[in-house]
């Protein structure tokens, strides 16, 4: 197959264009181009024949009188076709101390580019980063960068969606599975045809359906420089990379590397291929009933601090797009990555808004998780606003109204807003759930009351703000931190391979190795770890709120104790699917837990528990409280004296004359066995066991719903175990 980059017309004619059409918009007679810059004095559109061209085939200078409306530079290039390659040059003052970094020698990525050419990003990094000159940002560089910059591609938005629309499941019905597009299938153990690609994700659909998840949350797919990290793995000597992708360079463009199979000739594919492959992935996942949530990074870009490369925003209008310090040579850094986007400036606010609309309307995604979301609430000076315009805009936008919006409600500048993130309908990653659940199961004293709050929806965080339990995204592990296997296998982080002398990553993980650091051959230690993993999954999937599973935890994926594996594109982070066979008991257990959650609405309730009975239509007064609490003696707990045992009885009235289910959830984090007294019910029906994590598979969770009878008044709980009992008091 021959290369398919579009040749340029022999004669190039430009006319004023349309300032309302952002980016590059193809038309039957040519292409509209526009870009924002308030302080530029000149703008040049560069057109190329091939991705690695060292010089443009054509450079079209825009007339500031005919091709500028306000701050928008625009033109229409006649006879140009989709697939054309382009970049911009911006002329203006180079005055870092006043915030201006214009340099016409540097070609710039269009912030609205829908796709970038592949294969140029490594070269871009090699040229752009030069930390050997500490004051290089005060020097005007005359070195052109055309040859080593990825080129923007004019993309036509045509695709046969076959009637597809976003699924937009209600949050309370969702079970989220967090994964990395490449890492999911890059290992040979995945046995898929298209390893590490969007199509590879599609090939995993049968597994996702069998597991029972509803929502796939993908780590960043907006184009980023995968070679941004230039340190070496201090263990193997291999070059490290920007694997996670939390450093975007083009917010509208899907990561092109994820479109192409390993070893393929990228230039033999049509220019718009990455966009079409992403759309294909979304369409096929939707056909299977699986929605897609994108992890998006609107807090910083890959341009870094004052010593970083000029790739896009910095060269178009640095003082508008970024938060700058009092000496505007420097950047305010609330992201921990060198710069912070000026999200509440009207220009940046509109950019974020239009970008989200594009991913929903043109790409059909179902939701977004906003990395370091608290930065969206800061003004240009870094102050947290009480009613941030961009957060309200996203929440109230009519097109995004059914789209999921999930905040990581903190940032690297000290903001922490879990339970108080502004903007109304925003959901939040609940790290309080993560930490309290970890500490309870580790056996820390005094955490049973905290567990009670977390498993019932974290009302202490969300009730006062008028939010619902499903606004709490509950998780025990995520990409950032230990995997679940490592949480029960390592007492300390082991990030030496990151090249930062193990200084990076969170130091306190509330983890335990149960007697040996790392992999163990001890049957006792392995049985304890398996049991704790099952305890964590039961707590997560039977808690009120929206559960999120870290992909691979269900078969004990490990990162060898590395809790910050952002820079490893290797077997360390790729899913090892051979572990499915080794841990099929846990996979079965998780699959059945998910099915149980879906079948019993008590664990998907919309409202917080009240501890009181309630009226139900057609059934009169229900005298049973919706939740009751007990200690191991069957008494009402003294919360300040509660030990390592917690028991909750949930009463769920289904209405319409259907049976009222009762559930007994018993948690024992003690290293000792505990005999618990069961609540006595006003019915002759006995409690029946569904789950006991101390039992071997298949009795850890029963195949049939209620096969085992518990006729006694007590139940002996094994050390570090979870038990779920159930009864139908009105069944007969």
Counting residues of the chain whose pLDDT is more than 90, the rounded percentage is 82
First-to-last C-alpha distance (Å) of the chain: 70
Lowest mean pLDDT among 115-119, 227-231, 284-288, 356-360: 227-231
Q: Is the peptide bond before 698 cis (omega within 30 degrees of 0)?
A: yes
Cβ-proximal residues to 335 (8 Å cutoff; 6+ apart), any chain? 299, 300, 372, 375, 411, 412, 413
User: Does the structure show a pLDDT above 90 at 123?
Assistant: no
The pLDDT of residue 121: 58
The pLDDT of residue 617: 44
Confidence label for 660 from pLDDT (cuts 50, 70 and 90): confident
User: Does the structure show a pLDDT above 90 at 122?
Assistant: no
Classify residue 653: in a domain, yes or no: yes
The pLDDT of residue 135: 84
Classify residue 120: in a domain, yes or no: yes
pTM over 0.75? The answer is yes
Q: How far apart are CA 712 and CA 240, in angstroms?
A: 59
Cβ-proximal residues to 512 (8 Å cutoff; 6+ apart), any chain? 442, 443, 488, 491
Classify residue 112: in a domain, yes or no: yes
DSSP string over 195-246: TTSHHHHHHTHHHHHHHT--EEEESP-EEE-TT----B-TTT-PBP---S--
Write out the two tokens for 487.
């949480």
The pLDDT of residue 236: 77
Q: How far apart are CA 466 and CA 186, in angstroms?
A: 43
Residues 465 and 419 sit within 8 Å (Cβ to Cβ): yes
List, in sequence order, every beta strand (DSSP E) within 129-203: 152-153, 176-179
Confidence label for 541 from pLDDT (cuts 50, 70 and 90): very high
Classify residue 323: in a domain, yes or no: no
Residues 20 and 76 sit within 8 Å (Cβ to Cβ): no
Out of 120, 153, 186, a domain closes at 153
pLDDT digits (tens, 9 = 90+) for 466-515: 999 999 999 999 999 999 999 999 999 999 999 999 999 999 999 999 99
What does the pLDDT average to over 561-580? 97
User: Does the structure show a pLDDT above 50 at 310?
Assistant: yes
Confidence label for 234 from pLDDT (cuts 50, 70 and 90): confident
**Given its phi and psi angles, is residue 307 left (phi above 0), alpha (psi -120 to 50 degrees) or beta?**
alpha
Q: How far apart are CA 567 and CA 512, in angstroms?
A: 25
Confidence label for 133 from pLDDT (cuts 50, 70 and 90): low
Integer-rounded Cα Rg, in Å, for the chain is: 28
Residue 628: its H or E element: strand 627-630
What does the pLDDT average to over 106-134? 72
User: Does the structure show a pLDDT above 70 at 21?
Assistant: yes
Q: How far apart are CA 375 and CA 362, in angstroms?
A: 26
pLDDT digits (tens, 9 = 90+) for 595-608: 999 999 999 999 99
The pLDDT of residue 654: 64
Enumerate helices (H) and strands (E) in the chain, giving the number of each.
Answer: 15, 31
> What are the two backbone dihedrals, phi and then psi, of residue 647, each rounded to the nearest 5 degrees?
-130, 130
pLDDT digits (tens, 9 = 90+) for 602-655: 999 999 999 887 554 444 455 789 999 999 999 999 999 999 999 999 998 766
Confidence label for 1 from pLDDT (cuts 50, 70 and 90): very low
What does the pLDDT average to over 222-242? 81
User: Strand 215-218 to strand 291-296: parallel, antiparallel, or no bridges (unpaired)?
Assistant: parallel
Q: Map 672-730 to HEC letters.
A: CCEEEECCCCCCCCCEEEEEECCCCCCCCECCCCCCEEECCCEEEECCCEEEEEEECCC
Out of 135, 153, 171, a domain closes at 153
The residue behind tokens 């008590």 is 602
Confidence label for 420 from pLDDT (cuts 50, 70 and 90): very high
User: Does the structure show a pLDDT above 80 at 78?
Assistant: yes
Residue 253: its H or E element: strand 248-254
Classify residue 670: in a domain, yes or no: yes
Cβ-proximal residues to 643 (8 Å cutoff; 6+ apart), any chain? 448, 631, 632, 670
Q: How far apart are CA 477 and CA 483, in angstroms?
A: 6
The pLDDT of residue 657: 54
User: Does the structure show a pLDDT above 90 at 712?
Assistant: no
Write out the two tokens for 217.
């949350």
Comparison of pLDDT for 186 and 465, the residue scoring more: 186
The pLDDT of residue 624: 81
Mean pLDDT, all residues of the chain: 92
What does the pLDDT average to over 543-558? 98
Comparison of pLDDT for 127 and 454, the residue scoring more: 454
Out of 118, 153, 188, a domain closes at 153
The pLDDT of residue 2: 40
**Helices 523-541/431-442 angle, 10° precision:** 140
CA dihedral 197→199→205→208, nearest 10 degrees, is 10
Confidence label for 658 from pLDDT (cuts 50, 70 and 90): low
Classify residue 30: in a domain, yes or no: yes
User: Does the structure show a pLDDT above 80 at 728?
Assistant: no
pLDDT digits (tens, 9 = 90+) for 150-181: 999 999 989 999 999 999 999 999 999 999 99
Tally the domains of the chain. 2
List the CATH number of the domain containing 649.
2.60.40.1180
Q: How far apart are CA 365 and CA 381, in angstroms?
A: 33
Q: Which of 291, 306, 371, 431 is catalytic?
A: 371
User: Does the structure show a pLDDT above 70 at 378?
Assistant: yes
Helix locations, 90-211, DSSP H: 121-128, 181-185, 198-203, 205-211
Cβ-proximal residues to 232 (8 Å cutoff; 6+ apart), any chain? 238, 239, 240, 499
The pLDDT of residue 300: 97
Confidence label for 371 from pLDDT (cuts 50, 70 and 90): very high
User: Strand 176-179 to strand 546-550: parallel, antiparallel, or no bridges (unpaired)?
Assistant: parallel
Residue from 666, 542, 545 nearest 605 by CA: 545
Q: Which of 223, 306, 408, 626 is catalytic?
A: 408
Classify residue 80: in a domain, yes or no: yes
Write out the two tokens for 246.
């939390």
Q: Is 371 a catalytic residue?
A: yes
List the CATH number of the domain containing 134.
2.60.40.10
> Which range of residues forms the domain containing residue 97?
14-153
What does the pLDDT average to over 132-136? 71
Classify residue 232: in a domain, yes or no: no
3-state secondary structure of 34: strand
Residue from 240, 233, 348, 235 nearest 298 by CA: 348
């Amino acid at each position: 197959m021959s290369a398919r980059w579009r040749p340029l017309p022999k004669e190039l004619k430009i006319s004023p264009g349309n300032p309302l059409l952002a980016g590059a918009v193809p038309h039957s007679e040519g292409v509209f181009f526009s870009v924002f810059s308030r302080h530029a004095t000149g703008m040049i559109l560069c057109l190329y024949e091939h991705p690695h061209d060292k010089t443009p085939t054509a450079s079209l200078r825009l007339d500031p009188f005919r091709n500028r409306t306000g701050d928008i530079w625009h033109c229409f290039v006649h006879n140009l076709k989709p697939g054309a390659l382009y970049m911009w040059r911006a002329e203006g003052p180079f005055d870092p101390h006043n915030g201006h970094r214009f340099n016409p020698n540097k070609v710039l990525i269009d912030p609205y580019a829908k796709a970038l050419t592949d294969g140029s990003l490594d070269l871009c990094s090699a040229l752009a980063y030069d930390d050997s000159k500490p004051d290089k940002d005060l020097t005007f560089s005359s070195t052109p960068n055309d040859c080593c910059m990825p080129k923007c591609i004019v993309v036509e938005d045509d695709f046969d969606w076959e009637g597809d629309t976003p699924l937009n499941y209600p949050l309370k019905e969702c079970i989220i599975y967090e994964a990395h597009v490449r890492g999911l299938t890059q290992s040979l153990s995945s046995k898929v045809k298209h390893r590490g690609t969007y199509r590879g994700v599609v090939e995993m659909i049968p597994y996702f359906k069998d597991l029972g998840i509803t929502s796939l949350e993908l780590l960043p797919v907006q184009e980023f420089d995968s070679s941004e990290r230039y340190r070496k793995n201090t263990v193997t000597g291999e070059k490290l990379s920007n694997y996670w992708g939390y450093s975007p360079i083009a917010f509208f463009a899907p990561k092109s590397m994820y479109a192409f199979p390993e070893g393929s000739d990228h230039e033999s594919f049509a220019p718009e291929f990455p966009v079409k492959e992403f759309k294909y992935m979304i369409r096929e996942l939707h056909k299977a009933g699986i929605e897609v949530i994108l992890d998006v990074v609107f807090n910083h870009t890959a341009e870094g601090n004052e010593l970083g490369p000029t790739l896009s925003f910095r060269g178009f209008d640095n003082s508008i797009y970024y938060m700058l310090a009092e000496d505007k040579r420097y950047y305010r850094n609330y992201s921990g990555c060198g710069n912070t986007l000026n999200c509440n400036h009207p220009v940046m606010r509109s950019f974020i808004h239009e970008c989200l609309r594009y991913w929903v309307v043109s790409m059909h995604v179902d939701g977004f998780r906003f990395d370091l979301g608290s930065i969206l609430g800061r003004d240009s000076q870094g102050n947290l606003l009480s009613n941030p315009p961009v957060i309200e805009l996203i929440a109230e936008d009519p097109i995004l109204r059914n789209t999921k919006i999930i905040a990581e409600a903190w940032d690297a500048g000290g903001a922490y807003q879990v339970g108080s993130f502004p903007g109304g309908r925003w959901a939040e990653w609940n790290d309080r759930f993560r930490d309290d659940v970890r500490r309870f199961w580790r056996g820390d004293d005094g955490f049973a009351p905290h567990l009670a709050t977390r498993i019932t929806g974290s009302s202490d965080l969300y009730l006062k703000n008028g939010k619902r339990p499903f606004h709490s995204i509950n998780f025990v592990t995520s990409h950032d931190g230990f995997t679940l296997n490592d949480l029960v296998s390592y007492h300390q982080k082991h990030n030496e391979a990151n090249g930062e002398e193990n200084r990076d990553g969170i130091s306190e993980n509330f983890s335990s190795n149960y007697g040996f650091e790392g992999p163990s051959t001890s049957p006792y230690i392995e049985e304890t770890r398996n049991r704790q993993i099952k305890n964590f999954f039961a707590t997560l999937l039977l808690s009120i709120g929206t559960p999120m599973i870290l992909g691979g935890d269900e078969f004990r994926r490990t990162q060898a104790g590395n809790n910050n594996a952002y820079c490893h594109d290797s077997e360390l982070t790729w899913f090892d699917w051979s572990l499915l066979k080794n841990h099929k008991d846990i996979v079965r257990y998780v699959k059945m837990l998910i099915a149980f959650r879906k079948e019993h609405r008590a664990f998907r309730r919309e409202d917080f528990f009240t501890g009181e009975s309630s009226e139900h239509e057609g059934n009169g007064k229900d005298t049973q409280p919706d939740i009751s609490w007990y200690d191991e003696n069957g008494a009402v707990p003294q919360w300040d004296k509660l030990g390592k045992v917690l028991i909750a009885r949930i009463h769920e009235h289904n209405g319409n004359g259907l049976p009222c289910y009762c559930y007994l959830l018993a948690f024992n984090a003690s290293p000792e066995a505990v005999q618990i007294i069961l609540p006595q019910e006003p019915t002759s029906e006995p409690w029946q066991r569904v789950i006991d994590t101390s039992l071997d598979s298949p009795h850890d969770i029963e195949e049939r719903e209620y096969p085992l009878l518990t006729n006694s008044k007590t139940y002996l709980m094994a050390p570090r175990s979870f038990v779920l009992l159930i009864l139908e008091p009105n069944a007969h």
